[in-house]
Amino acid sequence: MKRTFGIKTGLLVVSFMALLLWTNLAYRVSAQSEALNSISDQQVSTNNSIAQLNEEAAILYRQALENNIEEVRGSILRISKSLEHISFEGQTTVEGIHALSETIVEVKQAVVKVKNDDASLQQSSAKLRLAADSLANPTKPLWLQYYKIVKNDLDALSAATNQGQTAAVLANRYTVLEEHYETIRPAALIRREPYEIAQMDAWLSHTKGLTNAKQPDLAQLKSMVGHGEELVNQLFGREKDESAFVPFVQGPDRRAAGLLISSVIVATLSYAGYRKYRAQQQGIFPFRR
């Protein structure tokens, strides 16, 4: 009788403990599910807000090109208010947020003095357009399409340096390069590491000093242009696009070079296999029968 009572009591205790465990587990699963749903809802809300910001920036840019000042003012006010509802956590760095905010301020300032400087409004609106797009499209932002433009600017500066052009020509070539870089700088800062932008800024500052000198140091400027090409490739993510055989051969003979290298590798492996076989036959290497 006591044994039966003990068994029943044990079963009740076990059942009670299992119920507590199940209740606790269900509570945790429910809490985690609610947290995930909350995060998901916040993410969707943030993505929608960023998409709206990007769309408004595109509208503002078109209005700036048409010199529709009243519409530009309306757009920039809506963009400013939309920032209050966007969570930038996980979207970009502090430097990226600051760069986006600066472009908005630049547009506001350009609208005030637009009668005296239409180009300032167009450039600032272009910077905001690219910055908003960079935030909305992290994988394929529009600013990456500036690679060819910036590369052409560098090539023009390099050609002027090699030709020993005057200081005025060199300064002009640099000014065009700087203008294009400044247009994409906020967008790049949203997606790139701050140190990469700092490197480009430092390079531009030094290069500007060389090109603005009364008697430019052409040898040093040529070296700086070469370094600038490396920094630009890094900024636009082009350093990995080069073929591993580029230093070996260029042009249409690249395929032939690849075949030649492959043939040498195959021949070397075949010869090594033959030597090992001969060595085994002569008892140099131990092997199993």
Residue 193 sits in a domain whose CATH number is: 1.20.120
Q: Do residues 177 and 132 share a domain?
A: no
Q: Do residues 180 and 257 share a domain?
A: no
Higher pLDDT, 113 or 145: 145
Let me know if residue 288 belongs to a domain. Answer: no
The count of C-alpha atoms lying within 13 angstroms of the C-alpha of 121, restricted to the half-sphere facing its C-beta, is 25
Q: Measuring CA to CA, which residue among 285, 259, 288, 262 is closest to residue 273?
A: 285
Let me know if residue 156 belongs to a domain. Answer: yes
* Whole-number pLDDT of residue 83: 85
Average pLDDT taken over every residue of the chain? 79
Residues 188-212: tens digit of each pLDDT? 999 999 999 999 999 999 999 999 9
Decide which of 87, 117, 138 is a domain's last residue: 138
pTM: 0.68
Q: Do residues 45 and 177 share a domain?
A: no
Let me know if residue 206 belongs to a domain. Answer: yes
Q: Is the pLDDT of residue 270 over 70?
A: no
**Across 138-151, average pLDDT:** 96
Q: Do residues 171 and 229 share a domain?
A: yes
Question: What's the length of the chain?
Answer: 289
Q: What is the DSSP string of 174-213?
A: HHHHHHHHHHHHHHHHHHS-HHHHHHHHHHHHHHHHHHTS
Q: Do residues 67 and 38 share a domain?
A: yes
**Across 4-28, average pLDDT:** 59
Domain extent, residue 12, equals 1-138
Q: Is the pLDDT of residue 87 over 50?
A: yes
Q: How far apart are CA 204 and CA 35, in angstroms?
A: 47
| Tokens linked to 109 | 């300032």
pLDDT-derived band at 243 (thresholds 50, 70, 90) equals very low
Q: Do residues 106 and 180 share a domain?
A: no
How many structural domains does the chain have? 3
Let me know if residue 190 belongs to a domain. Answer: yes
